[in-house]
Structure 1
Amino acid sequence: MKVLETSPPLSAKCVTAGTADIEGLIRLRKLLLSDGDAHYSATSSEEDLAWQLHYQKWLLQKLNEPTGNVRVVVIHDEADNIIACATGILDERAPMPGILNGVQGWIQSVVVAPEWRGNGLASLLLSALFSWFSARDAGKVVLQTTPAGDALYRKLGFKNSGEDLLIKIL
Structure 2
Amino acid sequence: MIVTRMAGPSDAAELVRLRRLMFAAMNGRDEPGDWERTAEETARRQLGEPDAPLGAFVIDGDGGGADGGHVPHLAACAVGRVEQRLAAPGHPSGRFGFVFSVCTDPRYRGRGYARATTRALLDWFAARGVSRVDLHATADAEPLYRSLGFTEHSVPLSLDLRSRDDAR
Hey, which bits of structure 1, 4+ residues long, moved more than 4 A? none
Could you give the per-residue CA deviations for residues 82-138 of structure 1, whole angstroms, max 9, x where no partner exists? 010111200112223431111011111100111222211111111111111111111
List aligned pairs for 1:107-118, cutoff 5 A: 107-118=99-110
RMSD: 2.1
Identical-residue share of aligned pairs (%): 30
Q: What letter corresponds to residue 29 of structure 1 in structure 2? A: R
Query: Contact 1:93–1:104 at 8 Å: present in 2 too?
Result: yes
Query: Contact 2:22–2:102 at 8 Å: present in 1 too?
Result: no
Name stretches of at least 5 consecutive residues in structure 1 with no aligned partner.
1-9
Work out whether 1:162 is the aligned partner of 2:154: yes
Q: What letter corresponds to residue 128 of structure 2 in structure 1? A: R
- Equivalent in the alignment of 1:65: 49
Deviation at 1:165, TM superposition (A): 5.2
List aligned pairs for 1:1-170, cutoff 5 A: 10=1, 12-34=2-24, 36-37=26-27, 48-79=32-63, 80-164=72-156, 166-170=158-162
Match of 1:148, SS state, is coil
Task: Tell me the number of residue pairs that the alignment of Structure 1 and Structure 2 aligns.
Answer: 154
Which of structures 1 and 2 has the larger relative contact order (alpha carbons within 8 angstroms, sep 6+)? 1
Match of 1:159, SS state, is coil
Query: Contact 1:98–1:140 at 8 Å: present in 2 too?
Result: no
Match of 1:87, SS state, is strand
CA distance in 1, matches of 2:139, 2:159: 18
Query: Contact 2:103–2:114 at 8 Å: present in 1 too?
Result: yes
Match of 2:38, SS state, is helix
Query: Contact 2:26–2:138 at 8 Å: present in 1 too?
Result: no
The 1:132–1:64 alpha-carbon spacing in structure 2 relative to 1, beyond 3 Å, is same
Q: Which has the larger radius of gyration?
A: 2
